[in-house]
């Protein structure tokens, strides 16, 4: 397989974007990424777009061709990829495979979700499409309730506390306050989280990621092309993906996302590094408990020690591993199909030293972790300044 | 890029499958394909699923992981691919690229749509998600009406007649009557088509493909593995895809699908053959006019001569090019996400000599052509008994 690098990135401001639809958001992010790569649209050979539920949010399927056209890239092959909230991560992975295969040299991977143009409650119902319709959604389960079950069990098994969960939100808002693209650019306190309205106990409003409009895009290229285009390519050292049952009741454990464990292991093996080599990670914190699962399942800490590690500041900006420097899903926002691509955008900015007030010192190796639903899909990418992490060349 | 072959195929009976949901249909097709390949589920390394609108048809997104689990393939990476009615063809293409890249040796590509569990009219509304929501669907355009515009213009420019359109349906029902998996296994007459109810003039009921439940699946493998698994591999000699605008009014011509032309040209170039080398083709006849556009845009006849060629029997079973031996979308049925995979299943059966009463004599080279919406996506595959068509070895 050929080596692949990220050579251009762009994203929209995340938030309630009442003035913009699917096409406008995609064009904004896509054109920024193409300009950042210093190429013209004519040089793009294919497009992959992550989108979860355009059909239900705005009545629009067939998103690939539509958005390629909106970016001015018609008639290149355009493909939509969907795996609920992991749609963006999977679009990046398919784009990576297409370049690695030798089929294309320059590909755009984008992600988009327009979530706010719906009636109250309808966004949560639509997101329910990511869970098992016949066994979960139909009976009234929503994602806050599914993750609340996970949180309650984690508290029971490992003594994780509501304060520790809240600490994830405080950290991610600290980072989001330093990200001009974030939906919520303000810090919050532990008390604010603990006193926010209950959504599905033990999860409160400020334990939950928001409903967000937004798009993100990256340009990736094969080794030869990447070296010509930029002096700061960000190499894709590993791409790995795994699945699990959609329904929580089919799993052996509520407190481990098996898909994350599998994808993480494979990714570290492919890259030839261990979790302790990672400088920064964008992990899937759709709820605060999800970040705790992620840091455990990816191997940054042992199972059960995530809450304590968060409390001790292990994942704060410029600590052991800077986690969710973008603000994460919690503060940067979570336009579901775009999140996986935004993670790659953030890691690229960090590895290039372009992350401004939230810059991680000497950032060399970054990881992205994108989850679909309550963990039926997980995809992990390892990116770095080095084309080969084994020899660090 | 590595060579890739189809080593196993399976499909469900297409039709109104009131007794089966997404999971049951997928399991039926997937397990047949895996058994046909003579492998166990443990050997499958990844799954790609084509599905257009599970979110709107049955409230279910996140189809990849769900259906991998239904087929017993958890925790392999599972990815849903969507491009409206071309979703199946694109899932096959992504699976092909994943094996060609060297990432996997054995991959399942499946397609599924469960379309009948909706209220009257809702299926057509949902299918409208494949057109441009802001410029077409919102103003009441449906697919019959969009293809009626195309048909009317084709008649105006080239003298194509309603009888010629009807002749497509008669031919495809003749073939469908010989396919035990087809939704409509009965022949129809020219008069029956011409006297059927108008849907969107000049298109009548029997010019239109039906609403269908169904699934299809194929197992593909890398060269070494394919040669070990079977004595009758069906090689993927070319895979090509292109895009166009979703909205008809943005195109230069109504009577040419530019995406088909682009994808077809690329596919023939990659395979090193010309249209006259093709023995059989499964083309996208969502409406009778669509088959006429397809045989022209793929180069089997010149632009404008499709109607006459159909009338002359050029595409009948065992004529110049046997087109839609499965019965096509018209008679075999059109579960939108499954159609592109079903086309590969049919071509594989034909090239192996397993197509029973509809067998094409000495079938060596087959083509599949899958279209999304009114032509914003087209994907063409060329498959044959030969690993290299240039040297016919």
List the CATH number of the domain containing A147.
3.40.47.10
Share of chain A above pLDDT 90, in %: 98
- Among B60, B94, B241, select the one facing A94 at the smallest CB separation: B94
Distance (Å, whole) CA B359 – CA B175: 10
Give me the number of domains chain B comprises.
2
Contact: B84, A75; criterion CB under 8 Å: no
Q: Is A102 on the interface with B (CB under 8 A)?
A: yes
Contact: B245, A74; criterion CB under 8 Å: yes
Can you name the residues that pair with A243 across neighbouring β-strands?
A377
Average pLDDT of the segment spanning A290-300: 98
Final residue belonging to a domain, choices B199, B229, B259: B229
Pair (A261, A132) in one structural domain:
yes
Q: How far is A95 from chain B (nearest CA, A)?
A: 10
Question: Is A86 a member of any domain?
Answer: yes
pLDDT in tens, B9-29: 999 999 999 999 999 999 999
pLDDT in tens, A85-134: 999 999 999 999 999 999 999 999 999 999 999 988 899 999 999 999 99
Pair (B151, B298) in one structural domain:
yes
What does A140-190 look like in DSSP terms, one character per residue? T--HHHHHHHHHHHHHHHH---HHHHHHHHHHHHHHHTT-TT-S--S---H
Q: How far is B62 from chain A (nearest CA, A)?
A: 5
Pair (B222, B93) in one structural domain:
yes
The CA-atom distances, in angstroms, between B41 and each of A63, B72, B75, B94 are 32, 7, 11, 20
What is the pLDDT confidence band of residue A393, given thresholds at 50, 70 and 90?
A: low
Helix axes of A288-297 and A258-271: crossing angle, nearest 10 degrees: 50
Pair (B87, B143) in one structural domain:
no
Residue B383 has a pLDDT of 98
Contact: B62, A376; criterion CB under 8 Å: yes
Contact: B90, A84; criterion CB under 8 Å: no
Average pLDDT of the segment spanning A50-62: 95
Question: Is B390 a member of any domain?
Answer: no
Q: How far is B187 from chain A (nearest CA, A)?
A: 33
Pair (A259, A364) in one structural domain:
yes
Q: Which helix (H) or strand (E) holds B5?
A: strand B4-11
| Region for B122 from its dihedrals, namely left if φ exceeds 0, alpha if ψ lies in -120 to 50, beta otherwise | alpha
pLDDT of residue A380 exceeding 80: yes
Q: Which residue has the tokens 């591993």?
A: A321
What is the pLDDT confidence band of residue A155, given thresholds at 50, 70 and 90?
A: very high
- Among A68, A101, A241, select the one facing B1 at the smallest CB separation: A101
Full-model pTM: 0.98
- Among A21, A75, A242, select the one facing B75 at the smallest CB separation: A242
Tell me the pLDDT of chain A averaged across its residues: 97
Residue B162 has a pLDDT of 98
Q: Is B316 on the interface with A (CB under 8 A)?
A: no
Final residue belonging to a domain, choices A172, A201, A229: A229
Active site residue B208: no
Pair (B76, B166) in one structural domain:
no
What is the pLDDT confidence band of residue B158, given thresholds at 50, 70 and 90?
A: very high
Pair (B261, B225) in one structural domain:
no
pLDDT in tens, A183-204: 999 999 999 999 999 999 999 9
Average pLDDT of the segment spanning B192-210: 98
Residue A121 has a pLDDT of 85
pLDDT in tens, B234-264: 999 999 999 999 999 999 999 999 999 999 9
Residues of B in Cβ contact (< 8 Å) with A131 = 62
Question: Is A148 a member of any domain?
Answer: yes
Q: Is B137 on the interface with A (CB under 8 A)?
A: yes
At B113 the three-state DSSP class reads: strand
- Among B61, B90, B93, select the one facing A52 at the smallest CB separation: B61
Pair (A261, A145) in one structural domain:
yes
Residues of A in Cβ contact (< 8 Å) with B45 = none
Question: Is B129 a member of any domain?
Answer: no
Residue A276 has a pLDDT of 96
Question: Is A391 a member of any domain?
Answer: no
Residues of B in Cβ contact (< 8 Å) with A377 = 62, 64-65, 78
Q: Which residues contact A20 (CB under 8 A, 6 or more apart)?
A: A12, A28, A114, A213
Q: Which residues contact A122 (CB under 8 A, 6 or more apart)?
A: none
Name the residue range of residue B65's domain. Answer: 4-119+211-229
Cβ contact B34:B8 at 8 Å? yes
Q: Is A269 on the interface with B (CB under 8 A)?
A: no
The CA-atom distances, in angstroms, between B159 and each of B192, B196, B253, B299, B300 are 22, 22, 16, 19, 19
Q: Are strands A4-11 and A214-222 parallel, antiparallel or unpaired?
A: antiparallel
Residues of A in Cβ contact (< 8 Å) with B131 = 62
Residue A45 has a pLDDT of 98
Question: Is A390 a member of any domain?
Answer: no
What is the pLDDT confidence band of residue A360, given thresholds at 50, 70 and 90?
A: very high
Final residue belonging to a domain, choices A172, A197, A229: A229
Q: How far is A193 from chain B (nearest CA, A)?
A: 31
Q: How far is B44 from chain A (nearest CA, A)?
A: 13
Active site residue A334: yes
Residues of B in Cβ contact (< 8 Å) with A96 = none
Question: Is A20 a member of any domain?
Answer: yes
Residues of A in Cβ contact (< 8 Å) with B137 = 59
Q: Which residue has the tokens 């495979």?
A: A97
What is the pLDDT confidence band of residue B63, given thresholds at 50, 70 and 90?
A: very high
Contact: A82, B63; criterion CB under 8 Å: yes
* Chosen from B20, B65, B140, B371 to mutate, greatest number of chain A CBs within 10 A: B65
Contact: A65, B243; criterion CB under 8 Å: yes
In chain B, residues 20-59 whose CB comes closer than 8 Å to chain A: 21, 23, 47, 52-56, 58-59
Question: Is A166 a member of any domain?
Answer: yes
Nearest residue to A74 via CA among A22, A27, A20, A11: A27
Strand runs (DSSP E) across B180-306, as ranges?
198-200, 203-204, 214-222, 234-243, 280-282
pLDDT of residue B171 exceeding 70: yes
Pair (B42, B162) in one structural domain:
no
Q: Which residues contact A285 (CB under 8 A, 6 or more apart)?
A: A168, A172, A209, A291, A294, A324, A328, A329, A330
Residues of A in Cβ contact (< 8 Å) with B74 = 243-245
Q: Are strands A234-243 and A214-222 parallel, antiparallel or unpaired?
A: unpaired
- Among B66, B134, B250, select the one facing A132 at the smallest CB separation: B66
Catalytic residue among B284, B334, B369, B381: B334
The CA-atom distances, in angstroms, between B154 and each of B141, B151, B163, B261 are 19, 5, 13, 16
Average pLDDT of the segment spanning A343-347: 98
Residue B19 has a pLDDT of 96
Contact: B126, A259; criterion CB under 8 Å: no
Average pLDDT of the segment spanning B100-126: 95
Contact: B83, A60; criterion CB under 8 Å: no
Residue B284 has a pLDDT of 98
Residues of B in Cβ contact (< 8 Å) with A102 = 1, 100-101
pLDDT in tens, B323-379: 999 999 999 999 999 999 999 999 999 999 999 999 999 999 999 999 999 999 999
Chain B residue with the nearest C-alpha to that of A250: B69
Residue B391 has a pLDDT of 87
Maximum distance among all Cα pairs of chain B, rounded to whole angstroms: 56
Catalytic residue among A173, A334, A369, A381: A334
Pair (A177, A112) in one structural domain:
no
What is the pLDDT confidence band of residue B393, given thresholds at 50, 70 and 90?
A: low
Indicate the range of A29-33, B117-121, B368-372, B379-383 predicted with least confidence: B117-121
Contact: A246, B62; criterion CB under 8 Å: yes
Pair (A92, A151) in one structural domain:
no
Nearest residue to B360 via CA among B385, B342, B331, B334: B385
Q: How far is A190 from chain B (nearest CA, A)?
A: 34
Pair (B280, B156) in one structural domain:
yes
Contact: B94, A90; criterion CB under 8 Å: no
């Amino acid at each position: 397989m050929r080596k692949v690098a990220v050579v251009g990135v762009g994203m929209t401001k995340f938030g309630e974007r009442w003035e913009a639809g699917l096409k406008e958001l995609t064009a904004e992010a896509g054109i920024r990424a193409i300009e950042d790569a210093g190429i013209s649209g004519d040089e793009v050979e294919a497009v992959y777009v992550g989108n979860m539920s355009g059909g239900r949010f705005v009545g629009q399927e067939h998103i690939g061709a539509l958005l390629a056209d909106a970016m001015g890239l018609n008639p290149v092959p355009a493909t939509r990829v969907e795996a609920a909230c992991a749609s963006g991560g999977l679009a990046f992975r398919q784009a990576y495979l297409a370049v690695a295969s030798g089929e294309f040299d320059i590909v755009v991977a984008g992600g988009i979700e327009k979530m706010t143009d719906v009636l109250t409650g309808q966004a949560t119902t639509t997101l329910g499409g990511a869970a098992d319709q016949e066994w979960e959604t139909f009976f009234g389960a929503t994602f806050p309730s599914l993750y609340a079950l996970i949180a309650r069990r984690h508290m029971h098994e490992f003594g994780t506390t509501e304060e520790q969960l809240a600490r994830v939100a405080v950290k991610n808002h600290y980072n989001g306050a330093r990200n001009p693209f974030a939906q919520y650019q303000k810090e919050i306190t532990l008390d604010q989280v603990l006193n926010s309205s209950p959504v599905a106990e033990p999860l409160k409003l400020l334990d939950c990621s928001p409903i967000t409009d937004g798009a993100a895009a990256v340009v990736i290229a094969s080794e030869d092309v990447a070296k010509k285009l930029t002096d700061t390519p960000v190499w894709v050292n590993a791409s790995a993906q795994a699945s699990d049952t959609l329904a929580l009741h089919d799993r052996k454990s509520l407190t481990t996302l098996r898909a994350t464990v599998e994808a993480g292991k494979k990714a570290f093996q492919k890259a030839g590094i261990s979790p302790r080599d990672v400088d920064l990670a964008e992990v899937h914190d759709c709820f605060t408990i999800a970040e705790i699962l992620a840091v455990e399942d990816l191997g940054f800490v042992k199972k059960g020690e995530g809450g304590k590690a968060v409390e001790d500041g292990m994942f704060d900006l410029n600590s052991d591993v800077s986690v969710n420097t973008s603000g994460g899903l919690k503060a940067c926002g979570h336009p579901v199909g775009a999140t996986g691509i935004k993670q790659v955008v953030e890691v690229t900015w960090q590895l290039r030293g372009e992350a401004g007030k939230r810059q991680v010192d000497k950032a060399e190796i970054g990881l992205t972790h994108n989850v679909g639903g309550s963990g039926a899909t997980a995809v992990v990418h390892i990116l770095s300044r080095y084309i080969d992490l084994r020899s660090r060349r």
